Structure formats: structure tokens, C-alpha cells
Amino acid sequence: MTAIVAYERAEQRRERMLAAPNYREGRFFNPTGKKPGLKSGERWNVMREYARQKPRTPPGPLPMVDPIGAWRERSRTQLRSTWLGHSTVLLELDGARILTDPVWSERASPFESIGPRRFHRPPVALDRLPPLDAILVSHDHYDHLDGATIRALAHTAPFFTALGVGAHLERLGVPAERITELAWWEEAEIPGTAVTIAATPAQHFSGRGALDRNKTLWASYALKGPRHRVFFSGDTGLEPELARIGQVHGPFDLIMLEVGAYHPAWGDIHLGPDQAMQAHARLGGAPLLPVHWSTFDLALHAWDEPILALESATHDRALPLLCPRLGEARDVMDLDDVQKALVHLDPWWRSVR
């Protein structure tokens, strides 16, 4: 692992990006060298599926919890997660508050009137968030890097992200001195805390327009405190470095994996529930918090298909599945909570009508 100093100047960040081993001819590459996108021969099949227009949105409102009351109390175990929708999680880890991939906008899109629209409102308003120690942006796609949200949070906390993404953040108003970029296998300390953030390999792609494909890096992340460790997948396929990530940064106390927006045609760059189970095992296992589902229609499956498949898979393997309602704060290391997740899972998604 390589430790870096936080808050480099933009020029220094650029120099490190150009020197990255997986950066060639102006583009970043996946661990396997696979090109992102649809698998060969799948384009027409996918177009036909889209034309069928299967129902993919919830038939009714999703249950939601106001987290403010829970946030007023300290975490009992120094490891608490609050899922706020899609890949947005407020993680309280050994005294540090870290917000992952914050998205509060109505659409995951560069436009206000077109693009994937939220199924539900955010469980809490941006101005009601508690003080943050770090904001983590996994990569530059619109459902992870939301311009309006970044502008609102620009001066609230330090930002940690992957190589090249800092330029987007600066354009959105984040001061350069608040931005730390990481290459795979680099890590940095969150100032004023005992927690470090390490960037780890992921198999995905990047770009916010037609002309910038793979010009910035994408990553997964390990968050490490004195007592607890958490893995956050960002967006990824089933890439070959997962076992090494578990060996270098584990054992983990919580594993947050993307489980939605999957399809066989792009199975190399998104996990989905079946591959999430394989990734979970390679990482060494831990309570599993599924993310990247139930907020935006980004694929061809029904809104609840990922969790129904994951519910069945984790039950068969007797694995602790943490699947709180939106806005529900959960003390991950509380034995009662873990056992409740394992034995008395509350399948709230079944009640959506």
C-alpha cells in the first residue's frame, strides 16, 4: 500500500494520474483489460428487451425512516450505517462520519427533465445531515457523482475520490485543498480522525459524456479504523483482485456491495446478486449491506428483483443480510442486530403495493 498526503494541488494530481500503471494513451483500463460495455452480439437482444417495457418501478411508496433521532445518539458499537438510497450511505466508523456517493437530485442525469428518475424522495434533507468528516465519491457516473449535491456539500467536508475525478469536483465548486485523489492501492487518512480510506481495484468504466470515456478512474474502497473495517464496492464486476483486497485490508466487519442495475449483457461491469455472493465470499465474508438498488431504473429488471434474489441466496447460505428500510440507522456490530438480520429479516420490499 502507498500512503499519500491529502489535498494535493491539481497539477500534482494530474502528474499522479499520468503515472498510474493502468493509465495508457489517455485512458484508464480495468484489471483484466476488458473493455466496458455490452458483450459482443448482445446489442439487439438488449434493444428488444427495452422495447417490451416490463414494469420496473415500485407499485407504491417505499417505507422510509427519519434518521435524525438515531443520529442524535452515539453508535453503540462504533460502526453504524444508514442507507439513504442507491449507493448513498452515511457510515459512522470509529468516530468518523463518512458519506458515500451522495445523490439527492431527482434524476441521475446531466439534465433536469430527462433521465432516470428517483422512485422515492431522499429520507433526509441535505441541510439536516450531521457534521461530516469525509465525503467519498467512488467514480464519476451521474448516479454516483451528482452535480447539484456536490455543489451543496462543496464546503462541508474533505472529499476522497479516484484519480482524475477531482477535476469534476473542482468545477462543481469544491476547493482544491479539500480534494484527495487515490489510485488503486493508495490510501490516505481522514484529517482529525483515526480512519483511513484506501482505493482498491474495480472493474467498471467512467465518463460523463460522449467524449470522456475512461479518462478518470473508478475504484472500490476499504475504510479502516482502529476497531472496524468496511468495504464499499462502488460499481464493479467480478474482478480478480477481490481476494487480495480481503487479504490486504480485511477482515471486514461490513461489506457494502452493489446488487442492482445488472444484466448478462453487461455482467463484466456490474455484479448483480449472484456475482455479489461470489464477491462477498472472495472478500472474506461479513454482514452484507446491498446498495445500488431501489432508487433509479438503470437496467431491465423489476425494481425488487435484486433483493428477492439476494434474500434467497443469503438464506440458503445462512449469511447475515442487513437490508434496512431507507433512512434506518443500524448498528452493524450489535449482535442482536446481526442475529435479527440473519434469522428475522424484515422483508419490507414485500409490503410495497
pLDDT of residue 242: 97
CATH, domain 2-26+66-351, list 3.40.50.10440, 3.30.70.870, 3.90.700.10, 3.60.15.10: 3.60.15.10
Confidence grade of residue 336 (pLDDT, cut at 50, 70, 90): low
pLDDT over threshold 60, residue 312: yes
pLDDT score for 47: 58
Instruction: Summarize the confidence of residues 60-75 as an average pLDDT.
Output: 96
Residue with the bigger pLDDT between 274 and 264: it is 274
On the question of pLDDT at 87 being above 90, the answer is yes
Flag the least confident range among 33-42, 80-89, 161-170: 33-42
Average confidence score pLDDT of the chain: 91
User: If you write DSSP's letter for every residue of 277-325 in order, what string do you get?
Assistant: HHHHHHTT---EEEES-SS---SSS-TTHHHHHHHHHHHHHT--B--PP
pLDDT: is 278 or 35 the higher one?
278
Mean pLDDT value of segment 195-215: 95
**What pLDDT was estimated at residue 43?**
58
Written as one letter, the residue type at 247 is: Q
Question: For 143-152, 175-184, 331-340, which range has the lowest pLDDT when averaged over its residues?
Answer: 331-340
Q: How far apart are CA 222 and CA 187, in angstroms?
A: 9
Question: Residue 41: is its pLDDT beyond 60?
Answer: no
- What is the structure's pLDDT at 13? 87
Total Cβ atoms within 10 A of residue 324: 18
Range in 66-75, 154-163, 292-301, 329-338 with the lowest mean pLDDT: 329-338
Q: Could you state, in order of their start, the residue ranges of all structural domains in the chain?
A: 2-26+66-351
CA distance 200 to 1: 10
Stated pTM of the model: 0.94
pLDDT band, very low/low/confident/very high, at 2 (cuts 50, 70, 90): confident
Quickly tell me which residue has 459524456 as its cell: 209
Q: Which long-range contacts (CB under 8 A, 24 or more apart) does 211-214 make?
A: 213/27, 214/27, 214/28, 214/29, 214/36
DSSP 8-state assignment for residue 332:
T
